[in-house]
């Protein structure tokens, strides 16, 4: 009887582990960490973008996600809604996620910058320096198995390299011991749809690991 209960419990936790739950008993802590970081970011005034933002775009998705997507910075729609990747590029990203057999709720999506740069200009070095610590802490508590860098900006920033995205994408890199796959940004794919097949190759590599 006791053995049976133990066997069932073991099978249950094995199943949880396989589906990405590594810290079952610690998840309330994860939630607390996420909430307190979120509060911190929501009241952030560390760079000039706090003056022009409508909303902070913290990130969204599963705190236990095995796969984390990191983009550049919120655009117009994201700034209005306070959510990452909800504009045209976001619709394409959602399609890519679904083609991988996942839902947006299964993964975690965020950006290097949490506030929109005016007119979607490129992030400035001081803005990155102010913001990068927040992303680093998000990665710490989510502990994804794989990070996918969406586009040149996210990939070059996290890998601390100036190698062009054309050369970075499609091969495995490491970000602080986490497997890192750079790929093209969905906004680039909207302008260059013929490169979608390359992104699909990259996603297949990610799916092999997951």
Using CB under 6 A, list all residues that contact ligand URA: 71-75, 78, 84-85, 87, 89-90, 111, 187
* Residue number, 78 or 202, with CB nearest to ligand URA: 78
Which phi and psi (to 5°) does residue 186 adopt?
Answer: -55, -30
On whether the CB atoms of residues 181 and 190 are closer than 8 A, the answer is no
Beta carbon of residue 15, minimum distance to ligand URA (angstroms, whole number)? 33
In whole angstroms, how far apart are CA 30 and each of 43, 66, 180?
A: 20, 14, 22
Closest to ligand URA by CB, 21 or 50: 50
- Distance in Å, CB of 78 to ligand URA, minimum: 4
Minimum CB separation from ligand URA for residue 94, in Å? 12
Cβ closest to ligand URA, residue 24 vs residue 42: 42
Measure the N-to-C terminal CA separation of the chain; round to a whole number of Å. 35
Judged by beta carbon, residue 21 or residue 44, the one nearer ligand URA is 44
On the CB side of 14, how many CA atoms lie within 13 Å of its CA?
6
Smaller CB distance to ligand URA: residue 37 or 113? 113
Work out whether the CA dihedral 71, 74, 78, 83 comes out positive or negative. positive
State in angstroms the smallest separation of the CB of 178 from ligand URA.
19
Local structure of 60: helix, strand or coil? strand
Residue 89 near residue 190, CB atoms below 8 Å: yes
Closest chain position to ligand URA (CB): 71
Closest CB 175 distance from ligand URA, rounded Å: 17
DSSP 8-state secondary structure symbol assigned to residue 121: P
């Amino acid at each position: 009887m006791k053995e049976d209960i133990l066997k069932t419990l073991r099978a249950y936790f094995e199943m949880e582990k396989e589906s990405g739950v590594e810290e079952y008993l610690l998840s309330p802590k994860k939630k607390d960490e996420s909430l307190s970081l979120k509060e911190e970011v929501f009241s952030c005034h560390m760079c000039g973008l706090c003056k022009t933002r409508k909303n902070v775009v913290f990130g969204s998705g599963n705190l236990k996600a095995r796969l984390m997507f990191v983009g550049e910075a919120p655009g117009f729609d994201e700034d209005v809604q306070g959510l990452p990747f909800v504009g045209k590029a976001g619709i394409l990203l959602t399609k890519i996620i679904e083609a991988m057999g996942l839902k947006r709720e299964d993964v975690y999506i965020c950006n290097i910058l949490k506030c929109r740069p005016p007119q979607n200009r490129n992030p400035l070095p001081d803005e990155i320096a102010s913001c990068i610590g927040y992303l680093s802490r998000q990665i710490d508590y989510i502990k994804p198995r794989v990070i996918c860098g969406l586009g040149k900006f996210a990939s070059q920033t996290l890998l601390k390299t100036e190698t062009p995205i054309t050369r970075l994408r499609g091969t495995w890199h490491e970000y602080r011991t986490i497997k890192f796959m750079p790929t093209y940004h969905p906004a680039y794919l909207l302008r260059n749809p013929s490169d979608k097949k390359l992104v699909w190759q990259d996603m297949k590599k990610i799916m092999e690991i997951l």
